[in-house]
Copies of this chain bind each other. A is one copy, B any other.
Amino acid sequence: MERTKFAPLSGFVPLTPEQQAKFDQLKDLVARVHHAYGFRSLDLPLIYRTEALLAKSGGETDKQIFRIDKGGDDGAAGLALRFDLTVPLAMFIANNERNLAFPLKVSQIGRSYRGEKVQRGREREFYQCDIDVIARGKLAVAYDAEVVAGVAEIYRQMGIGGVTIRIGNRRLLGGFLQSLGLADTAGVMAVIDDAEKVSGEELRRRFSELGVGDGEIAQIERLISFSGNLAEFKASEWLAGDNELFQQGRSELIAVMEQLAARGVNEAVIDLQIVRGLDYYTGTVFETRLDAMPEIGSIGSGGRYDNLVANYSAEPFEGVGLSIGLTRIFNSLLEAGKLPELPLAEKVLLIPVEPAQIEFCLKTSAELRARSEMVDVYLQGGKLDKALSYAAKSGASTAIIIGEAEVAGKPLERRVLY
């Protein structure tokens, strides 16, 4: 078969064993933090009815979705691969609302699929690490702080340098826009979402296109340029107003920042420019930058959604979530040579000099495994050179060569391989 037929597909690139070990370290670290915070794992199916998957989404997702053509005799038309972890969770909750303990704290670490243009760090098959807290009815704002604390904890443990978590609130912003008398608040928010990517001139042009007057534009620019800590936020008297939605958002933002202080999360700042693109966010919104590499974009974002399950259930389910695009982050760090140097688990390789020592090696390996060691035994035989060459590349950290003397009782000597 021609090599091009089985070469990796663009956007579906396998990791080498060395890369995989490092990727799994990060994935396991994220899972450990999720569990340490009391989140419970779900590993939901990858395939759904297309119609149900796209219930909420717009045209972009529709174009990017991987559809399933056929499976088995009874067909599988109308199915597609999930493009995120949130929509499957919403369906799961709608299907199981009577049997779940609320607030439901869910950890999902899994793959999703988007047929988007492959570019720097972005693959078509990628891991996301999500946590969500979902209540039947009202969810306390304290949980907004909990998911933000989760992202802070993950990056502290990863040790890849300082991060900044910028927190905004869509209710505060929406109320502010209402108080300016603007009708198309969703349109204005979409422009604000692009504020960092375009020039000030372009930004003003786009506001104007939506019918926003110069005076209002100036007020919006002032608002979204606010970035600071809770004391600065509270001290900014101009950040007040009697719009009810604005007041609610302001109270939520203050509550979240107070809770974060109580949790010792110093990475968080208020940044009123943060709106997150997705429509389903309603209150708290946040994103996270790696201070040393802001160019890789957000390394953990999310927010509050008050009606995510709305497409599937009449009951209101309030929730808040965090998503980390682990594949993209891993690829960016790998490319930049900045993957964290987490200690790899030790693995010892036993090398029998002659076939006569294999049995002793097997017994030794069983003893070491009983002490929770990871043990490989080189069983190919042949010259020692080959075994040592294997040792250097096999991921083992130490090797023990076992000859007649060792079988006779000579203490085993561990040679460090790297």
| A13 CB–B CB distance under 8 Å | yes
Contacts A6-B48, A35-B345, A47-B125 given; does A69 touch B72 at CB 8 Å: no
**Residue in B14, B139, B390 whose CB lies within 8 Å of A102:** B390
Measured CB to CB, the nearest residue on chain B to A33 is: B369
| Segment at the B interface, from A89-97, A287-295, A407-415 | A89-97
- A124 adjacent to B362 (CB under 8 Å): no
In this complex, how many residues of chain A approach chain B with their Cβ under 8 Å: the count is 106
**Residue in B47, B71, B263, B363 whose CB lies within 8 Å of A262:** B363
- A67 adjacent to B70 (CB under 8 Å): yes
- A366 adjacent to B70 (CB under 8 Å): no
* Inter-chain contacts of A113 with B (CB < 8 A): 47, 71
Contacts A36-B369, A264-B366 given; does A12 touch B311 at CB 8 Å: no
- Give how many copies assemble into the complex: 2
- A24 adjacent to B41 (CB under 8 Å): yes
| A146 CB–B CB distance under 8 Å | yes
| A381 CB–B CB distance under 8 Å | yes
| A217 CB–B CB distance under 8 Å | no
| A376 CB–B CB distance under 8 Å | yes
Contacts A36-B375, A67-B69, A115-B76 given; does A358 touch B395 at CB 8 Å: no
Nearest chain B CB to A277's CB is how many angstroms away?
Answer: 19
**Residue in B20, B41, B52, B95 whose CB lies within 8 Å of A17:** B41
Name which of A8, A40, A139, A146 has the most chain B CB atoms within 10 A of its CB.
A40
**29 sampled A-B residue pairs with Cβ under 8 A:** A1-B52, A1-B55, A6-B48, A6-B55, A6-B94, A6-B312, A9-B45, A16-B96, A16-B100, A20-B41, A20-B42, A23-B43, A35-B374, A38-B349, A40-B395, A65-B71, A66-B68, A66-B70, A71-B115, A71-B124, A72-B117, A76-B115, A103-B380, A135-B380, A140-B380, A259-B358, A262-B362, A262-B363, A263-B366
Q: A residues bordering B, Cβ < 8 Å?
A: 1, 3, 5-9, 12-17, 20-21, 23-24, 35-38, 40-49, 51-52, 55, 63-73, 76, 79, 81, 88, 91-92, 94-96, 99-106, 111, 113-117, 124-125, 135, 138-140, 142-143, 146, 259, 262-264, 311-312, 345, 347, 349, 358-359, 362-363, 366, 369, 372-377, 379-381, 390, 393-396
